[in-house]
Amino acid sequence: MSIRIAESVEFSAISCRGHTASILDFGGVGNGKTLNTAAFQRAVNELSKYASDGGAQLFVPAEVFQDIKSWGVVDPLPSYGHGRDAAGGRYISLIFGTNLTDVVITGENGTIDGQGITILAPVTSPNTDGINPDSCTNTRIEDAYIVSGDDCIAVKSGWDEYGIKYGMPTKQLIIRHLTCVSPYSAAIALGSEMSGGIEDVRAEDIMAVNTESGVRIKTAVGRGGYVRDVYVKGMSLHTMKWVFWMTGNYGSHADSHYDPNDLPEIKGINYRDVVAENVTMAARLEGIAGDPFTGICMANVTIGMAKKAKKYPWTCSEIKGVTSRVVPQPCSLLPDKGQDKWVTCDFPTDTLPIDDLKLQKCSYVKNYL
């Protein structure tokens, strides 16, 4: 006679599904040696049958389900192959997905081996973005520590005519409590793939150390799309090349089929409560001739220049905006409204849906002999 024991396992989720199963139910073995591809495929095939019945949830217990021998590990040298920008293989992101809904990645501040949101990449390696929200709605990135050779967070929404045709913007994005180290790129970049549109981005409590720029906007003629209603509050920056950087002539195109008459719209870019030190140049702001970047607002900004700083801390062209209580004095295209006409560059006070999200406690009953 056998005795079956039931054990309840609790976990957090956006919503508790009506159907739940464990990868162990489909033959998964978490010993770090067994190949579990077939088990995961069986699980997905079976649980997808409940898509019209409230969905299903696959529970993967805290064991090792990846056989390292099945995944090629590239030694530091030599590495060959072919990627978008140059020779060299392109390896997919450790956490990657498309057409996803209801996704939460949590952890106890562990290194990103599947347990947390600390990302460490070689600072001399290009194209090592930390997190890329691309064509996402209602997203929150919070309490992340990222060391990168590229942008710590790069916000995107499609490239040239393909992004315009697909037409899925990134919007309602919250970035909060970010710490970034990126000597050759930005703490937060908007673009350059922004042809589907980027709007309603709210970034606060941002710390960057030894990073090329704070928040950078990248676009070009032929991109189309827009970047608008961006709000940044509370940046603490140490050892920077630029604090503010906007580029209207950024780089390459997907192919030769883009429309050179598609001009991007950049407007409503707000910064407030920024403190920076050891900065080479306060700002490099370059709009597009005949298509200026407008609605730029900077308030309560103090920038301490480096000993070998540029002679002119601001360079500005094809932009329009206002400033208040900004040091050093901005360029003439960003007139200072003075103490009596305090410009606040208001940060939104309304709540986005993602901040109202409450994780539910779900459970899975595990049976074993």
pLDDT digits (tens, 9 = 90+) for 213-251: 999 999 999 999 999 999 999 999 999 999 999 999 998
Write down the pLDDT at residue 340: 63
What is the CB neighbour count within 10 angstroms for residue 46?
15
Catalytic residue (choose from 129, 150, 160, 273): 150
Write down the pLDDT at residue 60: 82
Q: What is the DSSP string of 231-248?
A: EEEEEEEEEEEEEEEEES
Q: Strands 198-211 and 213-218: what pairing?
A: unpaired
pLDDT digits (tens, 9 = 90+) for 271-293: 999 999 999 999 999 999 999 99
Distance CA 11, CA 29 (A): 20
Distance CA 22, CA 274 (A): 48
Write down the pLDDT at residue 342: 64
Write down the pLDDT at residue 112: 37
Is 150 annotated in the active site? yes
Write down the pLDDT at residue 93: 64
Peptide bond into 148 cis (omega under 30): no
User: Domains plus CATH for the chain?
Assistant: 1-69 (no CATH), 105-355 (2.160.20.10)
186, exposed or middle or buried, with CB in 10 Å at 0-12, 13-18, 19+? buried
| Total residues found in the chain within this entry | 369
Q: In order along the chain (369 residues), what is the average pLDDT of each group of 10 residues?
A: 60 79 90 88 91 83 70 53 53 66 55 49 84 91 92 96 95 95 97 97 98 97 98 98 97 91 97 97 98 97 95 97 96 87 83 86 69
CA separation (Å) from 39 to 17, 35, 60, 238, 264? 20, 9, 11, 48, 47
Write down the pLDDT at residue 11: 73
**What are the tokens at 274?**
């920024």
Q: Which of 367, 365, 363, 366 is nearest to 16 (CA)?
A: 363
Write down the pLDDT at residue 237: 98
Distance CA 363, CA 79 (A): 45
Enclosing H/E stretch for 164 = helix 160-166
